[in-house]
């Protein structure tokens, strides 16, 4: 299947009727039009709930119906048609509506440009602080010292984190060297995004993906109180040698869904792609979440099975595993910046690297040379 992707012919958008219309296209356009009219104020949550109630399940069901109608042999093939693009757009809108609603259970976004400290609900802040404290208690003294050096000394008091006098001293020494350190907002954003239970990473990513595929930035603006300090924090970590990573990266993704064929059409050998957000991956091939289980016997839409492994041969990234909750601190999580990556033919990949894929369907790519 995936090994034959580069032999598959697919239509270019320029070959299609640019006035393509369908029930799903109309649903998508109506929903985006409603989303664009949302103002960020006291009524934002209610307005989003109304749009979610009216459109999300209708869009989801239509995407599922069309996707399930695909012949099994076409499920993992690239498709660059306008029909495929509408499937991808609908899939992403439905995901974005759901994850943003979940996000607003933990954050009250009532004015544009709010800080994470102002928007976060107290119970969620306490949960994140407790989660980070549990991680601090679980890691080694050397790792605690590494964290202390990149966190501003006042943050430990502001977040009521229990650390040793030696770790406070390590933080103070870094501050005296005028090394840029993380603020409380940065730490909260990292701990929330890297938490495997909170789900905030979904809203952060979905908002940017909806913006990329539909041009609507409203959902991204709602989660901006998280993504803005997160992006700042990742840039700060990239300045610290202990948190820089260079080498291969591995990521499990879901392509057995309505967005899969259109995404695959942009991940063919020789093509460049740039994510609209930083990308979570791992430095450890065994921890990339891609499943070895066969999920190709049915072309029912997959929501949880990471059916494909993406192997990035060379990348520069940031280590963030020390901000994970305790259940995932040993998975080697890294964050890859928003830089172009080039997809490669499997035939050009060394057999020792291909062996890391085991029985998984795998796509290969690399960060482009100018960014390495």
* HEC secondary structure over the chain: CHHHHHHCCCCCHHHCCCCCCCHHHHHHHHHHHHHHCCCCCCCHHHHHHHHHHHHHHHHHHHHHHHHHCCCHHHCCCCCCCHHHHHHHHHHHHHHHHHHHHHHCCCECCCCCCCCHHHHECHHHHHHHHHHHHHHHHHCCHHHHHHHHHHECHHHHHHCCCCCCHHHHHHHHHHHHCCCCCECHHHHHHHHHHCCCCCCHHHHHHHHHHHHHHHCCCHHHHHCHHHHHHHHHHHHHHCCCHHHEEEEEEEEEECCCCCCHHHHHCCCCCCCEECCCCCEEEECCHHHCCECCCCCCCCCCCCCCCECEEEEEEEEEEEECHHHCCCCCCCCCEEEECCCCEEEECHHHCCHHHHHHHCCCEEEEEEECHHHC
**Among 78, 112, 146, residue at a domain's last position:** 112
pLDDT of the chain, 372 residues: tens digit per residue: 333 333 333 333 333 444 457 999 999 999 999 999 999 999 999 999 999 999 999 999 999 999 988 766 666 789 999 999 999 999 999 999 999 999 999 999 999 999 999 999 999 999 999 999 999 999 999 999 999 999 999 999 999 999 999 999 999 999 998 889 999 999 999 999 999 999 999 999 999 999 999 999 999 999 999 999 999 999 999 999 999 999 999 999 999 899 999 999 999 999 999 999 999 999 998 888 876 554 444 444 445 678 889 999 999 999 999 999 999 999 999 999 999 999 999 999 988 888 777 667 899 999 998 888
**What residue numbers bound the domain in which 66 lies?**
2-112
Q: Within a domain: residue 198?
A: no
* Cα–Cα nearest to 116, from 236, 281, 37, 231: 231
Q: Within a domain: residue 217?
A: no
The encoded tokens of residue 50 equal 């109304």
Q: Within a domain: residue 337?
A: yes
**Among 84, 112, 140, residue at a domain's last position:** 112
**Among 95, 112, 129, residue at a domain's last position:** 112
Q: Within a domain: residue 266?
A: yes
Q: Within a domain: residue 274?
A: yes
Q: Within a domain: residue 332?
A: yes
Task: Residue 310: give its domain's CATH number.
Answer: 3.90.176.10
Domain count, the chain: 2
Q: Within a domain: residue 249?
A: yes
Q: Within a domain: residue 273?
A: yes
């Amino acid at each position: 299947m995936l090994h034959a992707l580069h032999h598959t012919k697919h239509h270019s958008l320029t070959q299609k009727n640019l006035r393509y219309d369908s029930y799903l296209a109309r649903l998508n356009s109506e929903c985006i039009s409603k989303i664009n009219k949302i103002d960020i104020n006291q009524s934002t949550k209610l307005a989003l709930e109304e749009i979610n109630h009216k459109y999300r399940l209708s869009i989801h069901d239509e995407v599922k119906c069309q996707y399930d109608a695909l012949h099994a042999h076409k499920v993992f093939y690239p498709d660059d048609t306008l029909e495929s693009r509408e499937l991808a757009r609908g899939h992403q809108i439905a995901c974005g509506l759901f994850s943003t609603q979940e996000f607003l259970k933990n954050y009250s976004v009532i004015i544009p440009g709010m800080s994470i400290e102002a928007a976060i609900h107290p119970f969620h802040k306490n949960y994140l602080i407790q989660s980070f404290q549990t991680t601090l208690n679980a890691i080694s003294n050397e790792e605690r010292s590494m964290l202390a050096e990149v966190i501003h000394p006042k943050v430990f008091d502001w977040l009521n984190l229990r650390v040793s006098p030696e770790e406070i001293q390590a933080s103070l020494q870094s501050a005296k060297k005028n090394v840029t350190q993380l603020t409380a907002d940065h730490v909260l954003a990292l701990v929330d995004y890297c938490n495997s239970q909170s789900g905030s990473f979904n809203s952060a990513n979905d908002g940017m993906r909806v913006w990329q595929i539909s041009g609507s930035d409203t959902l991204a603006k709602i989660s901006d109180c998280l993504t803005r300090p997160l992006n700042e924090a990742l840039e700060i970590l990239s300045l610290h040698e202990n948190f820089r990573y260079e080498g291969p990266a591995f990521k499990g993704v879901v392509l057995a869904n309505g967005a899969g064929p259109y995404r695959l059409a942009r991940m063919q050998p020789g093509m460049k792609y740039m994510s609209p957000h930083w990308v979570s991956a791992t430095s450890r091939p065994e921890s990339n979440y891609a499943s070895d289980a066969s999920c190709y016997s049915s072309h029912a839409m997959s929501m949880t099975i990471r059916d494909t492994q993406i192997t990035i041969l060379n990348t520069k990234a940031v280590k963030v595993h020390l901000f994970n909750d305790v259940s995932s601190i040993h998975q080697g999580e890294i964050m890859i910046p928003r830089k172009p990556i080039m997809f490669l033919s499997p035939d050009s990949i060394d057999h020792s690297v291909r062996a890391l894929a085991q029985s998984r369907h795998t796509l290969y790519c690399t960060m482009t040379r100018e960014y390495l």
